[in-house]
Amino acid sequence: MTKSVFFCTAAAAALLSAAPVLAAEGDTLNQVKSRGELICGVNTGLVGFAAPDANGNWSGFDIAICKAVAAAVLGDATKVKYVPTTGQTRFTALASGEVDVLARNSTWTFQRDTDLKLDFTTVNYYDGQGFMVRKDLGVTSAKELEGATICIQTGTSTELNLADWFKSNNMTYQPVNIDSNAEGEQQYLAGACDAYTTDASGLAATRAAFADPENHIILPEIISKEPLAPAVRQGDDNWGDIVRWTIYALISAEEYGVTSANIEELSKSSTNPDVQRMLGSSDDYGKMLGLDKEWAKRAIAASGNYGEIFAATIGEQTPIGLARGLNAQWAQGGLMYAMPFR
């Protein structure tokens, strides 16, 4: 055997021996089931989306997504470990296997979807980047921020959008780099920057936590599209399907009028074929995902349907005060549209 043939044979053998290991590493569903716990990557602390209380109990819009997935897969919405991640650490945490799913205010972009080797499941919040300033600054438009100092999280699409927008408007600014929303809030309140920029929903959540929210305004300009979506590792298609269809179940439940209060009744009495399939009253769709037939029923029951989750965590009756806007159901003029359970 020549040296070149030997090396080719050895390389082939190494690839073959590695293949089962890679397949096993990509089987997140079995890992989660075996562990008995879902590990969810979330924000380090953003009220309304993902934040712990004084006792370490997490709540928020993104937390409800984690709970729904845990309920679907493990039958228990409490079987979740929350791992705080920053704009710089979130994708590494997912790629390395530190978390099973990233449910953390992350924008679906071309580069992230292709170059970072991860897959976004489906958009669960349509957002856009904005600016917040103190009222006493006397600014009413972002176009009045020429030469301003602006707090910006590094390692985010927000950072790139900011540079593009100022360049296209022939304006200059001075960035004040921050690593997390908590640091951004601290620096902004300390006067280290004239304005704070991030997703408009994040600005509303941050302002709601201020002692004097009425003294801060969110400027009218929205300078980008920020479709926020949970992400999974690329190549783990079944796990991606589970996360995606769990979110679709929450959206569909709102569309069909299935709530946390009536779900038990409708699972027995609904004559809607889509509801029957979704709740496992007729066909066993869970089998196609490696789950049981009531996976979606449990996901919806965990925190309610999409509308219930929105209203309870970030809606108009909460301190965050967000209107549904683009996040309304498609039949009400929004973009929330689940693929059919068929």
Q: What is the pLDDT of residues 183-194, one digit of tens each?
A: 999 999 999 999
**DSSP assignments along 4-23, one per residue:** HHHHHHHHHHHHHHHHHHHH
Question: Mean pLDDT over residues 322-327, rounded?
Answer: 97
Minimal CA–CA distance to 199: which of 184, 214, 215? 184
Query: Is residue 61 predicted with pLDDT exceeding 90?
Result: yes
Displacement of CA 160 from its chain's centroid (Å): 20
Percent above pLDDT 90 for the chain: 87
In b/e form, how buried is each residue of 32-65, taking b as 16+ CB within 10 angstroms? beeeebbbbbbbbbbbbbbbbeeeeebbbbbbbb
Q: Side by side, which strands form the sheet with 118-120? A: 80-85, 38-43, 101-102, 231-233, 118-120
Helices (H) and strands (E) in the chain, counts: 13, 14
pLDDT at position 20:
34
In the chain, what is the greatest distance between 2 CA atoms, to the nearest angstrom? Answer: 81
Select from 157, 127, 162, 141 the least CA-distant residue to 221. Answer: 141
**Both tokens assigned to 161:** 């959008």
pLDDT at res. 286: 94
Predicted pLDDT of residue 24:
40
CA Rg value for the chain: 22
Tell me, what's the pLDDT at 3?
39
pLDDT digits (tens, 9 = 90+) for 227-278: 999 999 999 999 999 999 999 999 999 999 999 999 999 999 999 999 999 9
pLDDT digits (tens, 9 = 90+) for 102-158: 999 899 999 999 999 899 999 999 999 999 999 999 999 999 999 999 999 888 889
Per residue in 16-58, pLDDT tens?
333 333 334 459 999 999 999 999 999 999 999 999 999 999 9
Between CA 125 and CA 225 the distance in angstroms is 11
Mean pLDDT of 312-341: 96
Q: What is the pLDDT of residue 244?
A: 98
Please give the pLDDT value at position 154: 86
pTM given for the model: 0.87
Query: Around 244, how many Cα atoms within 13 Å sit in the side-chain half-sphere?
Result: 18
* Per-residue model confidence as pLDDT tens digits over 5-18: 333 334 433 333 33
Confidence (pLDDT) at 26: 56
